[in-house]
Chains A and B, each alone.
Chain A
């Protein structure tokens, strides 16, 4: 039987290895609890490594892998046999150093602080005078504990931010977290499939997570993780779209569209439009630059043709046509038009339902539309009926995916990268 690294080992060897690791972990834990240095480093690599296969990597639970001397809190003590960084001082120098330090300490203490020991190396560089000046200058008398340098020192008597948890406390915490997660799961299950409203908190939590000082609570994190997993789980069938949950959540917290004031020129354009298309149902939206007219799909061709041919509008300059992927609602086709004679500028758009992505081509109205429509067709999968040359323009000739759609083959990767997908 082979392990992950390709080496072979018998089940007995594997069991022995696992048991040894467990023992080491228990020993280290016990040592940590009791404040003693942990046992010695782990035994040598098993015999199969000698055969030439790469040694199996153990996930050693104990962080201690050597027998360096450590202090009470587990930090590595400076090896007394290691070469000193500064040459050994003569007894006179040492006496002088000690005297200076005692002076500085006395001064600092008089100012109301404790003194930490500075490492020998740094002390060797600083002259006694400089040290004295420094500590004298940096000893304010505001009652805050400061080091000899003047930085604020953590008071050793102050309470710790969180006391070390006893095993019972820890177990209680874990249980509470599990309960919240289960509750969230229950909530998710009760909602109809595909619309996890728990996700409503997800993006907000993700976005706010690193920025908030206190961090998201455990329950929120659990809810987000569950919703996130629901979104990125692999697609089971071709028709399954991972974004449906997101779309529904977004619909729940939908924000209204901002309204803008139209300039007098834009108002004149609106008036002309309303006059020309009095009998059609056209919605007016506002944008900071142009009026936006939403036209029904069935009327779009005659509206555009009238835009060009009607003398009141005379929109002879075709700026562009593009699509906007609105997920569940379909794809919105947006035309930007301009008249060089009457100076009207409009945005005309129409919504194509997701099951009928066909819009009549306007290449015979404006020659400029030819290339713009080819690009829209290949990027969104919209079909411009009647286009004289519906080949791919920018993409490869044989490519059949539509890259600008929101649900595209690399979408999972984007989600993992934390890109806002709306």
Chain B
């Protein structure tokens, strides 16, 4: 602060620049946020990204359609099956391959379980941002670990699954896996109830998240927000309903929608999405054929796609994840563009944060549920 001489003159103050990150306990990943603050009020915020940029799109041009699935896992490491599914869908649409039914059901179960795992982790991390020193975090991870145990049994991996293939899935489900999934659903329902008791009705949490980081529906659409960020603003837009793919036309589920577009609504929407995902998985287990092929017929060993382009998109836990694939007839993509949901979600950070307090900046950032690897690819 630069004070002028004498008290009868105006104070001339400069804004304080606070740098949060790239190493910081509450920026979820390697992300830097430069806040200009006036006292406790945020006057300007500049998000600086690119610390996790690994050239995923360039790499994908050098990997064929089976190797490229690994890159998709590593792009959104909390919605892995979703990204794999988008990539496989893009290749399947361009190549004209029909995924057999059992494979589609298996894919949907994996995708919805993954959505639940991602949302549980979000809630755990969000509680930690709010100031629960670890209680909410462990609650969230307890449920997530249960789902990850199932995935480890299925794929052998805890995080980078690489289970989907173009044309189906890589191998058949292990014996007894579906029984374990349906036993797990009861425990997950209890987990959601635990969170409702811990966070949703907690006065302090309500005070921290209500009316914080509000964004209107028009602005949200203009910024390209999608997923729970958009649904929290009151826009009932879900790609599983609007542009259905896989077996979603046959499933019955609701789209949770918020009202005000604040942090609390984003949290609630995700919590209710977990419940809907439980419902979806239960239906999948019932309706899935108990045997059948899991890979499209006549899939060549070295897949070559015809010349053309395709933009395939699915509903990621974070929003609309799209793969724009341009093929020139070879066994590798000519151009692979990953339209990541977090990239667009993060671009609205400035809009949501200016005019809020510093402590709110952390809460808003947490509510966007970003995965920096997806933002930077």
Contact = CB atoms under 8 A, between A and B. Distances in A.
Please determine if A and B sit in direct contact within the complex, based on CB atoms under 8 angstroms apart: yes
Interface stretch (A24-32, A181-189, A287-295): A287-295
Given A258-B308, A393-B49, A368 B62 contact: no
Given A368-B224, A395-B53, A320 B347 contact: no
Interface in B32-66: 49-50, 53, 55, 57-58, 62
B296 interface: no
Given A367-B347, A395-B53, A319 B322 contact: yes
Given A255-B307, A414-B62, A320 B93 contact: no
A336 B224 CA distance: 11
Interface stretch (B10-18, B74-82, B102-110, B334-342): B334-342
Contact of B224 (A322, A366, A419, A422): A366
Given A340-B237, A395-B53, A325 B335 contact: yes
A322 B94 contact: no
Nearest to B46: A389
B281 interface: no
Contacts of B329: 255
Interface in B83-111: 93-94, 96
Nearest to B242: A343
A288 B326 CA distance: 12
Nearest to A345: B243
Nearest to B62: A419
- Interface size classification for chain A: 35 or more
A420 B331 contact: yes
A394 B310 contact: no
Given A394-B49, A419-B62, A422-B328, A367 B334 contact: no
B278 to A, nearest CB: 27
A411 to B, nearest CB: 11
Given A395-B50, A414-B62, A324 B326 contact: yes
A318 interface: yes
B309 interface: yes
A289 B244 CA distance: 12
B370 to A, nearest CB: 13
Given A319-B339, A404-B57, A420-B330, A258 B307 contact: yes
Interface string B302-333: 00001111111100000010101010111110
Contacts of B343: 371-372
Interface string A307-332: 00000000011111010110000000
Interface residues of B, number: 48
Contacts of A420: 62, 330-332
A370 B308 contact: no
A292 B226 CA distance: 23
Interface in A354-411: 366-368, 370-372, 392-396, 403-404
Given A394-B376, A422-B328, A289 B308 contact: no
Contacts of B330: 420, 422
Contacts of B58: 403-404
B113 interface: no
Contacts of A255: 306-307, 329
A368 B307 contact: no
A222 B306 CA distance: 30
Nearest to A422: B328
Interface string B365-377: 0000000000011
Contact of A368 (B243, B313, B334, B344): B344
Nearest to A378: B50
Contact of A336 (B62, B223, B311): B311
Nearest to A334: B324
A160 interface: no
A269 interface: no
Interface string B220-236: 01111010000000010
A350 interface: no
Contacts of B311: 287, 289-290, 319, 336, 347
Contacts of B219: 367
Interface of B: 49-50, 53, 55, 57-58, 62, 93-94, 96, 219, 221-224, 226, 235, 237, 242-243, 306-313, 320, 322, 324, 326, 328-332, 334-335, 337, 339, 343-344, 346-348, 376-377
23 contacts: A255-B329, A258-B94, A258-B307, A258-B308, A260-B308, A317-B224, A319-B339, A320-B224, A320-B324, A320-B337, A322-B339, A340-B237, A347-B311, A366-B224, A368-B224, A371-B344, A371-B347, A394-B376, A395-B53, A404-B58, A419-B62, A422-B330, A422-B334
